[in-house]
């Protein structure tokens, strides 16, 4: 007996999605999105599908689809799932010749599998659905010389492995405001078209998991805190990331129509994958909607992810990533533990403001790069990798970059306070630390006490550097830069809810001065927060909170008021008030019940 106070209204799988509160507006939003995308001229499977579903520009759309079908420049994995998704949705209205051409593309064109987690999800989703669509065909009928049955089994096996990995130790490309779309879009395509009810259910569960994972770190359309990888534009301006459009569609936030806001348009204009969500029969469970939008009570959420596959220079393939997020209605402060967790595009920590203004974030980093870092994750030689990344991703070796992992950066967060320790080796190419401070902050002042006080709306940030720094004015931001190899910053975040007036917040901090002790290779920072908690943090050493060590080994897969999961259990429990939804990935079951009030 689980609990006499709990009434189990458990129905395996068959619980209908109940977004009663949001359903009407969701319907409006999804219709609007389909209409808008149907009116676009971007050459993509998504615009084509929207046009043909709505009957808009039909002839043009057919021509576009025809040209896409034969366009070899679309990478295999991007082609694979999007093409089959369009085909399955549109096949009743496509001319036979075009349908034959689309079938033929899976016989003749290159379907490159790629080398990242998102590539494989897209590739195997496409392969699975294509093999399902054209079953019982021999090896000569497929681009890879495998039969329908062989392709189906391989894709099914890998997708099930990915579901299992993602629900037990987490994604390697986790919580990315950009790459989120490369997971959720194929998963929803799989959900929509998989004939096997178990695969369909697992896809539904995976969609739930992806959205719940987002929801708990979501604030007004922003995917907050640390994440595995993203582009600088989206790190500086979080609402420009594609995840914001998904947030708008499913969470109803941000509160404005994203596509009409020109300031958010430039880079991802044309990334209309979201329309596959709008056309999907998947409905977000209300509990996830509630988790994403109820910010009435601040909370701490922790979770465990995994480092992307380490193939060299490591003893462990997927060491854990420990993520900590403090969420309020005005801001979120979130962080990863630091170190190299993902090559090239890591974003280790930030403060995100709930604001309609762009550039609603503050963060710091050490702009690290090395061939060895790349060679941990890619098989080519170190020197070649450095040259190659510099060649195609100039930003990687740029001293001014805004995304980076670094072995010389570590964090210790407790609620709305974070300590970020930097201990940079001599001889490193970029021996400085950078901080992003948007120019459109309502206030930014340097206090005689040493604190830098910032305000955006109702959110207050206090930033303290233990060692000297300078300011560099740039187009949209002030760049805080410190050339000290050993430094620590202390960041305290608050809001009018917690602190009252900004001046009160300042006064609470002016008398506090963090102390950096120890030297050599392992500096130690000690600091007592404005809440009275004592934090002591040694680089490569313990993190002590009020004298007690923080033990990462005790981190759950998810742990917070809304999401809970033991590591490696494969069972994820969502809780919102008296609603509970449980995903059991091993059993491929979904349960929902309500606790008695």
Partner 1 sequence: MLRFSLIAVFIAGLCCGVVLHAQQETIYMSVLNSRRHRLGAVDNPTVGLFISTDRGATWRHRGWEYIRAFYAEAGLDGAIWSACGNGVLRSTDGGTTWRITTGWHITEVLKVKVHPQDPLAAYAATAYGIFKTTDGGETWREKNRGFQKPFTSDVVIDRAKGSRLLAATEEGVYRSTNGGDRWVLVGAKNKGVRTIAQDPHDGRAFWIGTENDGLFVSRDEGAAWEPAQSFPKHLTVYAIAFDPSVAGVLYVGTHGGGVYRSLDGGTTWKQCSVGLKNLDVHSLVVVPSNPRIVLAGTLNGGLYRSTDGGSRWEFNSQDEGQVWGLSVR
Q: At what angle do helices 58-69 and 45-54 cross, to 10 degrees?
A: 150
Instruction: Give yes or no for a contact between 208 and 359, defined as CB atoms under 8 angstroms apart.
Output: no
Structure-token pair, residue 494: 């608050």
- From residue 328 to residue 367, what is the string marking binding to partner 1 with x (rule CB under 8 A)? ----------------------------------------
Region 536-575 residues binding partner 1, contact defined as CB under 8 A: none
Taking residue 450's Cβ as centre, other Cβ atoms within 10 Å add up to 16
For tokens 């600091």, what's the residue?
A: 527
For 271, phi and psi rounded to 5 degrees? -85, 75
SS3 state at 487: strand
Contact status: 115 vs partner 1 (CB under 8 A) = yes
Stretch that binds partner 1, among 105-113, 199-207, 338-346, 541-549 (CB under 8 A): 105-113
Instruction: Give yes or no for a contact between 453 and 443, defined as CB atoms under 8 angstroms apart.
Output: yes
Cis peptide before 549 (omega within 30 of 0): no
Total number of residues that touch partner 1 (CB under 8 A): 35
* Residue nearer to partner 1 on the CB measure, 120 or 363: 120
d(CA 567, CA 320): 10
Cβ neighbours of residue 582 under 8 Å, at least 6 residues apart? Answer: 571, 572, 573, 574, 590, 591, 592
Dihedral in degrees, nearest 10, Cα atoms 258, 276, 48, 259: 0
Q: Which of 39, 95, 145, 501 binds partner 1 (CB under 8 A)?
A: 145
List the one residue out of 123, 117, 126, 219 whose CA is nearest residue 174: 117
Cβ neighbours of residue 398 under 8 Å, at least 6 residues apart? Answer: 367
Q: Which of 9, 12, 311, 446 binds partner 1 (CB under 8 A)?
A: 311
Contact status: 138 vs partner 1 (CB under 8 A) = no
- Least gap, CB of 362 to partner 1 (angstroms): 35
d(CA 171, CA 396): 23
Residues composing the chain: 597
Taking residue 56's Cβ as centre, other Cβ atoms within 10 Å add up to 17
d(CA 247, CA 588): 26
- From residue 377 to residue 396, what is the string marking binding to partner 1 with x (rule CB under 8 A)? --x-xxxx--xx--xx----
SS3 state at 307: coil
* Residue nearer to partner 1 on the CB measure, 141 or 569: 141
Stretch that binds partner 1, among 204-212, 308-316, 460-468, 508-516 (CB under 8 A): 308-316
Q: Which of 154, 390, 566, 582 binds partner 1 (CB under 8 A)?
A: 154
d(CA 535, CA 543): 7
Contact status: 139 vs partner 1 (CB under 8 A) = yes
* Residue nearer to partner 1 on the CB measure, 3 or 73: 73
Residue 318: Cβ-neighbour burial (10 angstroms; 0-12, 13-18, 19+): middle
- Least gap, CB of 88 to partner 1 (angstroms): 23
Structure-token pair, residue 83: 């093409």
- From residue 51 to residue 80, what is the string marking binding to partner 1 with x (rule CB under 8 A)? ---------------------xx-xx----
* Residue nearer to partner 1 on the CB measure, 77 or 525: 77
For tokens 């209205």, what's the residue?
A: 93
- Least gap, CB of 379 to partner 1 (angstroms): 5
List the one residue out of 218, 267, 211 whose CA is nearest residue 241: 267
Contact status: 312 vs partner 1 (CB under 8 A) = yes
Contact status: 164 vs partner 1 (CB under 8 A) = no
Stretch that binds partner 1, among 35-43, 109-117, 345-353, 356-364 (CB under 8 A): 109-117
Stretch that binds partner 1, among 107-115, 293-301, 481-489, 501-509 (CB under 8 A): 107-115
Q: Which of 7, 9, 100, 161 binds partner 1 (CB under 8 A)?
A: 161
Stretch that binds partner 1, among 111-119, 212-220, 283-291, 509-517 (CB under 8 A): 111-119
* Residue nearer to partner 1 on the CB measure, 123 or 322: 123
* Residue nearer to partner 1 on the CB measure, 11 or 161: 161
* Residue nearer to partner 1 on the CB measure, 143 or 557: 143
List the one residue out of 339, 332, 289, 296 whose CA is nearest residue 314: 339
Q: Which of 46, 128, 152, 158 binds partner 1 (CB under 8 A)?
A: 158
- Least gap, CB of 460 to partner 1 (angstroms): 46
Per CB under 8 A, residues contacting partner 1 are 72-73, 75-76, 110-115, 120, 124, 139-140, 143-146, 154, 157-158, 161, 311-313, 315, 379, 381-384, 387-388, 391-392
């Amino acid at each position: 007996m689980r609990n006499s106070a709990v009434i189990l209204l458990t129905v395996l799988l068959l619980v209908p999605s109940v977004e009663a509160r949001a359903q009407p507006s969701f319907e409006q939003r999804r219709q609007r999105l389909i209409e808008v995308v149907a009116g676009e001229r971007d050459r993509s499977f998504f615009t084509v599908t929207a046009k043909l579903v709505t009957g808009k520009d039909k002839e043009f759309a057919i021509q576009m689809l025809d040209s896409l079908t034969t366009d070899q420049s679309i990478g295999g994995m991007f082609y694979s799932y999007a093409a089959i998704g369009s085909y399955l949705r549109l096949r009743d209205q496509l001319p036979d010749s075009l349908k034959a051409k689309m079938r033929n593309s899976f016989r003749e064109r290159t379907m490159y599998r790629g080398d990242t987690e998102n590539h494989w999800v897209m590739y195997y989703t496409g392969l699975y659905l294509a093999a399902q669509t054209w079953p019982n065909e021999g090896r000569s009928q497929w681009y890879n010389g495998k039969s329908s049955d062989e392709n189906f089994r391989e894709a099914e096996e890998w997708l099930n492995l990915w579901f299992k990995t993602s629900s037990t130790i987490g994604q390697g490309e986790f919580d990315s405001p950009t790459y989120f779309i490369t997971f959720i879009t194929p998963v929803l395509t799989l959900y929509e078209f998989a004939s096997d009810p178990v695969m369909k259910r697992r896809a539904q569960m995976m969609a739930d998991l992806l959205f719940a994972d987002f929801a708990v770190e979501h604030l007004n359309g922003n995917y907050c805190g640390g994440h595995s990888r993203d582009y600088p534009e989206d790190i500086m301006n979080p609402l420009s990331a594609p995840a914001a459009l998904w947030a708008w569609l499913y969470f109803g936030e941000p509160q404005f129509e994203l596509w009409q806001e020109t300031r958010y348009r430039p880079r991802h204009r044309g990334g209309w994958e979201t329309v596959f969500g709008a056309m999907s029969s998947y409905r977000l469970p209300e509990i996830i909607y509630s988790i994403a939008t109820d910010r009435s009570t601040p909370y701490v959420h922790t979770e465990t992810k995994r480092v992307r596959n380490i193939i060299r220079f490591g003893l462990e393939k997927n060491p854990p990533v420990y993520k900590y997020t403090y969420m309020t209605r005005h801001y979120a402060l979130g962080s990863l533990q630091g170190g190299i967790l993902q090559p090239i595009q890591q974003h280790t920590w930030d403060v995100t403001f709930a604001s309609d203004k762009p550039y609603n974030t503050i963060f710091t980093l050490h702009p690290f790069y090395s061939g060895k870092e790349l060679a941990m994750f890619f098989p080519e030689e170190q020197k070649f990798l450095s040259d190659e990344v510099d060649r195609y991703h100039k930003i990687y070796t740029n001293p001014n970059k805004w995304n980076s992992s670094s072995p010389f950066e570590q964090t210790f967060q407790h609620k709305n306070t974070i300590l970020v320790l930097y201990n940079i080796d001599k001889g490193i190419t970029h021996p400085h630390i950078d901080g992003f401070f948007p120019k459109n902050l309502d206030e930014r002042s340097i206090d005689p006490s040493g604190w830098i006080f910032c305000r955006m709306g109702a959110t207050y940030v206090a930033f303290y550097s233990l060692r000297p720094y300078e300011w560099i004015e740039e187009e949209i931001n002030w760049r805080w830069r410190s050339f000290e190899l050993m430094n620590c910053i202390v960041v305290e975040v608050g809001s009018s809810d917690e602190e009252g007036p900004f001046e009160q917040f300042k006064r609470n901090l002016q008398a506090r001065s963090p102390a950096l002790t120890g030297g050599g290779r392992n500096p130690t920072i000690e600091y007592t927060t404005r809440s009275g908690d004592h934090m002591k943090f040694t680089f490569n050493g313990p993190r002590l909170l009020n004298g007690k060590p923080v033990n990462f080994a005790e981190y759950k897969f998810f742990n917070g008021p809304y999401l809970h999961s033991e590591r490696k259990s494969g069972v994820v429990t969502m809780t919102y008030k008296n609603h509970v939804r449980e995903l059991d990935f091993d059993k491929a079951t979904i349960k929902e019940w309500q606790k008695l009030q």
